[in-house]
Amino acid sequence: MVHLRFLRARTAYSARGAPLTTFRVVSSQPKPIIAGECGVSLLAHGYYRRLREPVDTLVVVCGPTSKDTRDSRFSHWLQKTAGRARRMASVCVAAFILAEAGLLHNKRATTHWAFAADLQKKYPDVKVDANPIWIQDGNIYTSAGITAGIDLALAMVERGTTVRPWHGCSAQPYRVFCADLAVRRNSAFPYQRKLRDVRRYMTFRCGWQKT
The CA distances from residue 160 to 23, 63, 73, 139, in Å, are: 15, 27, 30, 12
Confidence of residue 210 (pLDDT cuts 50, 70, 90): very low
How many C-beta atoms lie closer than 10 Å to residue 48's C-beta? Answer: 18
pLDDT of residue 109: 96
Q: Which residues contact 208 (CB under 8 A, 6 or more apart)?
A: 5, 167, 202
Q: Which residues are catalytic?
A: 92
CA 61 to mean position of chain CA atoms: 9
Q: How far apart are the first and last CA of the chain?
A: 6
Q: Is the pLDDT of residue 76 over 80?
A: yes
Model confidence band, residue 20 (pLDDT cutoffs 50, 70, 90): low
Phi, psi values for residue 135, rounded to 5°: -135, 140
Do 10 and 20 form a contact (C-beta atoms < 8 A)? Answer: yes
Mean pLDDT of 124-149: 94
Q: Are 129 and 110 in contact (CB under 8 A)?
A: yes
Categorize the per-residue pLDDT at 112 as very low, low, confident or very high, splitting at 50, 70 and 90. very high
Sorted by sequence, the CB contacts under 8 Å of residue 116 that are 6+ apart come out as: 110, 128, 130
Query: What pLDDT, on a 0 to 100 scale, did the predictor assign at position 200?
Result: 59
Q: Which whole number is the average pLDDT over 1-29?
A: 68
Question: Which band of pLDDT confidence, cut at 50, 70 and 90, is reported for residue 125?
Answer: very high
Is residue 60 within 8 Å of residue 98, measured between CB atoms? yes
Length of the chain counted residue by residue = 211
Give how far Cα 90 sits from Cα of 26, 51, 168, Å: 14, 19, 35
Task: Work out the widest C-alpha separation in the chain, in whole angstroms.
Answer: 52
Q: DSSP secondary-structure letter at 46?
A: E
At position 114, the amino acid (one-letter code) is A
Domain 54-205 adopts which CATH fold?
Rossmann fold (3.40.50)
Q: Is the pLDDT of residue 190 over 50?
A: no
Q: Is residue 142 helix, strand or coil?
A: strand
CB distance 157 to 175 below 8 Å:
no
Predicted confidence (pLDDT) at residue 186 exceeds the cutoff of 60 = no
Residue 187 confidence (pLDDT) above 70: no
Percent of the chain with pLDDT over 70: 66
Report the predicted TM-score, pTM, of the whole model to 2 decimal places: 0.71
Whether 107 and 137 have beta carbons less than 8 Å apart is answered as: yes
What does R_g of the chain's alpha carbons equal in angstroms?
18
pLDDT beyond 90 at 176: no
- Average pLDDT (61-85) is 89
The mean predicted confidence, pLDDT, of the chain is 76
Q: What is the mean pLDDT of residues 160-188?
A: 37
The pLDDT, as a whole number, for residue 170 is: 33
